[in-house]
């Protein structure tokens, strides 16, 4: 299956290359066709999971797989979420399981069933009949197989980012979610950041006008962290793979504000990268390792165009010395929002009512609004989710509170039988940049079609909205 899938992609790329050799000369830009990858037909009897509602769960019984930094933090956060029961804990290392048990004991909760010591121990956790949700926080390459197995055992499944690394994995995850009718959520925390969620609310209420393009990124020099990844798994992945392999922090907020697969869809992308310099130099200086074929670029840029003529710009850079940034910029016909490098808004004067914010006369599309106006906007358009749990989120923490909001919303939706904030098609769209940008880069930055992972249902839902119980 994997070999056939790879050969299909190569064949499509070669066909594109042959079409652009001479035969395109003198024709208009519209004659160029993006490289396409196979879109498998939906198996008979299988139906989409857009707006999936599962039976309500008064208490959500959870099993955690992977108890390193991210997993252990999740266990601690769940001790603060009402209506949850931590049933089982799993990690390859028994000492990590024990440290998480201590978190439960400190919170006055009973110890959980423990699994460790074997590469297959996580499967035993998934087979338990007293678990509703499997929460996965392992290294990237195990995410998709674990999601698939958990759903096959009748569990809802949630995974840290990125949840799938190849197109084959993405389609397998989608098909499993559709076949089992189980929730499958990628744990993308950045969509719950206070600025991002407020800006989304402003956009949905028309303050920014029609949203035309959005930007996002993961720019984070990892020199201080490379040695922390067990088995050097993250460095090894960067050594072997070209393209934007960690796109979801930028993609999530951008896709939500542009209603991707909820009234619009991504049509194609183009990627470019700079040659890798800093990480190979780090490997030589730090480890004495001479790497001459390091794959991941110093800086990778991706441009995406949607069905409705909107655009998304995504960047990835874990090598360069520069301030951390997710970029997150949103441009509408009436206003602009930017989180990095400066958090603020620029609005046309008619974007908000005169009595809505202080110093309305200082609002101009040529510059950021004054700080007091920004504070007024963020208070006026504070998202209902933040109104409900902002104080608790900031107290519990996790990247300033957005991790807690993410976990709380997952449990809230399961308890109330609501569609999740992020479905399996979000997972697919935000993860597909890894294989698709690689395909573009390997073909001289050729345009590559983005598959419709909903297989025809991208326009069924009109606009992205969070679900709330009546």
What are the pLDDT digits (tens) for 212-225? 999 999 999 999 99
Q: What is the per-residue pLDDT for 4?
A: 46
Residue 286 and residue 419 in one domain: yes
Residue 244 within any structural domain of the chain: yes
With CA atoms as reference, report the closest residue to 272 among 293, 307, 243, 247. 243
Q: What is the per-residue pLDDT for 159?
A: 98
Residue 90 within any structural domain of the chain: yes
Contact 212, 311 (CB under 8 A): yes
Residue 132 within any structural domain of the chain: yes
Is residue 338 helix, strand or coil? strand
Query: Which one of 142, 168, 186 terminates a domain?
Result: 186
Residue 47 within any structural domain of the chain: no
Q: Which of 28-37, 86-95, 134-143, 147-156 has the lowest mean pLDDT?
A: 28-37
Evaluated on CA atoms 117, 119, 124, 130, the torsion sign reads positive
Predicted confidence band at 365 (pLDDT cuts at 50, 70, 90)? low
- Report DSSP state, residue 427: H
Higher pLDDT, 350 or 393: 393
Predicted confidence band at 352 (pLDDT cuts at 50, 70, 90)? low
Residue 175 and residue 255 in one domain: no
Structure pTM? 0.93
Residue 177 and residue 196 in one domain: no
**pLDDT > 90 fraction of the chain, expressed in percent and rounded:** 88
Residue 221 within any structural domain of the chain: yes
Residue 375 and residue 230 in one domain: yes
Largest CA distance in the chain: 73
Residue 308 within any structural domain of the chain: yes
Q: What is the per-residue pLDDT for 470?
A: 85
Domain count, the chain: 2
Residue 76 and residue 222 in one domain: no
Tokens 């809230």, located at residue: 412
Residue 295 and residue 428 in one domain: yes
Residue 112 and residue 195 in one domain: no
Residue 160 and residue 195 in one domain: no
Query: Which one of 154, 186, 218 terminates a domain?
Result: 186
Predicted confidence band at 185 (pLDDT cuts at 50, 70, 90)? very high
What are the pLDDT digits (tens) for 158-174? 999 999 999 999 999 99
Residue 12 within any structural domain of the chain: no
Q: What is the per-residue pLDDT for 350?
A: 73
Is it true that the peptide bond before 162 is cis, omega within 30 degrees of 0? yes
State which residues form the domain around 233: 190-390+410-449
| Residue 323 scores a pLDDT above 70 | yes
Q: What is the per-residue pLDDT for 26?
A: 36
Predicted confidence band at 32 (pLDDT cuts at 50, 70, 90)? confident
- CA-based end-to-end distance of the chain: 45
Query: Which one of 165, 186, 207 terminates a domain?
Result: 186
| Residue 27 scores a pLDDT above 60 | no
Q: What is the per-residue pLDDT for 65?
A: 98
Residue 162 and residue 229 in one domain: no
Residue 279 and residue 330 in one domain: yes
What are the pLDDT digits (tens) for 10-19? 445 444 444 4
Contact 12, 35 (CB under 8 A): yes
């Amino acid at each position: 299956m994997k070999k056939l899938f790879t050969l299909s992609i190569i064949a499509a790329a070669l066909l594109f290359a042959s079409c652009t050799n001479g035969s395109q000369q003198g024709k208009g830009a519209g004659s160029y066709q993006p490289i396409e990858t196979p879109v498998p037909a939906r198996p008979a009897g299988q139906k989409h999971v857009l707006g999936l509602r599962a039976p309500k769960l008064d208490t959500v019984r959870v099993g955690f797989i992977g108890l390193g930094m991210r997993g252990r933090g999740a266990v601690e956060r769940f001790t603060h979420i009402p209506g949850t029961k931590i049933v089982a804990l799993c990690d390859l290392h028994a000492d990590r399981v024990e440290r998480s048990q201590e978190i439960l004991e400190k919170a006055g909760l009973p110890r959980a069933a423990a699994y460790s010591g074997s590469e297959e121990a996580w499967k035993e956790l998934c087979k338990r009949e007293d678990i509703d949700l499997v929460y996965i926080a392992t290294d990237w390459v195990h995410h998709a197989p674990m999601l698939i197995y958990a759903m096959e055992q009748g569990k809802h499944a949630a995974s840290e980012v990125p949840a799938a690394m190849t197109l084959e994995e993405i389609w397998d995850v989608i098909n499993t979610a559709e076949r089992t009718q189980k929730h499958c959520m990628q744990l993308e925390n950045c969509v719950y950041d206070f600025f991002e969620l407020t800006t989304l609310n402003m956009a949905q209420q028309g303050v920014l006008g029609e949203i035309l393009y959005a930007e996002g990124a993961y720019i984070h020099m990892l020199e201080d962290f490379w040695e922390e990844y067990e088995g050097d798994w993250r460095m090894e992945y960067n050594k072997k793979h070209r393209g934007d392999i960690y796109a979801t922090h930028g993609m999530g907020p951008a896709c939500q504000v542009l209603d991707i697969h909820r009234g619009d869809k991504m049509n194609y992308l183009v990627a470019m990268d700079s040659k890798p310099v800093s990480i190979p130099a780090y490997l030589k200086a730090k480890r004495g390792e001479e790497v001459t074929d390091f794959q991941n670029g110093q800086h990778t840029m991706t441009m995406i165009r949607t069905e409705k003529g909107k655009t998304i710009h995504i960047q990835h850079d874990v090598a360069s010395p520069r301030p951390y940034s997710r970029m997150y910029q949103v441009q509408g016909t009436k206003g602009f929002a930017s989180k990095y490098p400066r958090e603020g808004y620029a609005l046309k004067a008619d974007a908000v009512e005169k009595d809505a914010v202080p110093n309305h006369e200082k609002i101009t599309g040529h510059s950021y609004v004054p700080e007091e106006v920004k504070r007024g906007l963020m208070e006026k358009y504070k998202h209902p989710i933040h109104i409900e749990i902002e104080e608790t989120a900031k107290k519990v923490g996790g990247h300033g509170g957005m991790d807690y909001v993410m976990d709380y919303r997952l449990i809230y939706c399961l308890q109330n039988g609501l569609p999740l904030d992020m479905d399996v098609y979000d997972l697919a769209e935000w993860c597909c940049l890894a294989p698709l940008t690689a395909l573009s880069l390997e073909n001289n930055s050729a345009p590559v079609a983005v598959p419709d992972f909903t297989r025809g249902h991208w326009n069924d839902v009109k606009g992205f909205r969070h679900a709330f119980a009546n």
